[in-house]
Amino acid sequence: MKSMTLTRIVRLPAVTAALCALALPAMAQVTVSDAWVRATVPQQKATGAFMQITAARGGKLVAASSPAAGVVEIHEMAMEGTVMRMRAIPALALPAGKAVELKPGGFHVMLMDLKAPVPAGEPVRITLTVEGPDGKRETVEISAPAKAMTPTAPAMHKH
C-alpha cells in the first residue's frame, strides 16, 4: 500500500507540471503598449487608435471593436502613386516577438460612426482580436487615453 501511495504522490506533481505546460500557449501571448486615441472635435464621426502590438508567437490582428464606435476597422495608409490613401485591410501581420507599430500615417485602428465626441483625456475601451499561428483567437482589452492632435501629427483623412 505504501508504494502505491508514493507513486500517486510522485505522479501528482508531474501531472500538474504537464497541465501547466499545456496551458502556457493559451495564456496571453499578445501585449499592447503605448495605446492612445486621437481626441475629436464636435460633430467628428471618426478617429484613429494607435499603439504597439507584440505577439510572442506571431499571428495577425483580425478584428477590433469598441463601445465608443458603431464600426471599427483595421486600416493602413499607403502611397498610391503620388496620393496617400487609407483603406481597410482584413488583417495585420504580427511577426513573432516583434513590436508592430500602429501610428498616424501608417497602420491604425479606425473608429467610425462614433457614438459621442472623444474629448482629450477620456479613456476609450477597445477590444482587439488576434489570431495565433495555430488559428486560435485571443482577445485583448485595452483602455486608450484620448490625446489632442498636435501640429506634428498628420491629420486623419475623412471617410
Q: Are 64 and 128 in contact (CB under 8 A)?
A: yes
Report the alpha-carbon distance of residue 22 to residue 10 in Å, rounded: 19
Q: Which of 127, 69, 78 is closest to 105 using CA atoms?
A: 78
Does domain 29-147 match CATH 3.30.930.10? no
Domain chopping of the chain, boundaries: 29-147
pTM: 0.77
Q: What is the mean pLDDT of the chain?
A: 85
Q: Is the pLDDT of residue 26 over 90?
A: no
Residue 152 φ/ψ, nearest 5 degrees: -85, -15
pLDDT at 151: 56
Burial (CB count <10 Å: 0-12, 13-18, 19+), residue 27: exposed
pLDDT at 67: 98
